[in-house]
């Protein structure tokens, strides 16, 4: 059960990255002015990204209260995998064979760590 809670925190964080990327693609900032900052912070994608980050942090605090950090923290590497696949399917970003090999190593490491509890 705790693994699902850990993964939900990481998923929120990964989705936050995607929302921020989408938001920054829709905002033009020529210089740092109050107007440009307001445009940035009131962009719905940026707001969603920040909300997801806060949600991820709150879940993560619960995780840290209940499990050893040396067990939980390696799971954050799942964020790399989630971001890569979401980026591939929704942002049409490239996934190379070398990136897939890296994903394989991350999955193997997380599997080994998850068996150590």
Task: Locate 49 and state its tokens.
Answer: 């990204």
pLDDT in tens, 58-112: 999 999 999 999 889 888 988 999 999 999 999 999 999 999 999 999 889 888 8
- CA within 13 Å, CB half, 8: 13
Domain encompassing residue 27: 2-114
Q: What's the pTM value of the predicted model, to 2 decimals?
A: 0.84
Residue carrying structure tokens 């059960």: 1
Of 74, 63, 21, whose CA–CA distance to 43 is shortest? 21
Number of helices (H), then strands (E), belonging to the chain: the values are: 6, 0
Residue carrying structure tokens 């964020």: 79
If one counts the domains in the chain, the total is 1
- Residue 45 CB neighbour total at 10 angstroms: 17
Of 63, 72, 67, 83, whose CA–CA distance to 113 is shortest? 72
pLDDT in tens, 23-61: 998 877 777 888 878 888 899 999 999 999 999 999 999
């Amino acid at each position: 059960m705790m693994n699902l809670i850990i993964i939900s925190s990481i998923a929120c964080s990964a989705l936050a990255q995607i929302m921020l990327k989408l938001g920054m693609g829709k905002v033009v900032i020529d210089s740092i002015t109050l107007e440009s900052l307001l445009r940035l912070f009131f962009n719905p994608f940026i707001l969603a990204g920040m909300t997801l980050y806060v949600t991820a942090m709150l879940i993560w605090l619960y995780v840290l209260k209940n499990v050893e950090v040396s067990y939980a923290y390696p799971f954050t590497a799942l964020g790399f995998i989630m971001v890569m696949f979401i980026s591939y399917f929704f942002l049409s970003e490239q996934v190379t064979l070398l990136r897939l090999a890296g994903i394989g190593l991350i999955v193997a490491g997380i599997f080994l760590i998850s068996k150590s509890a």
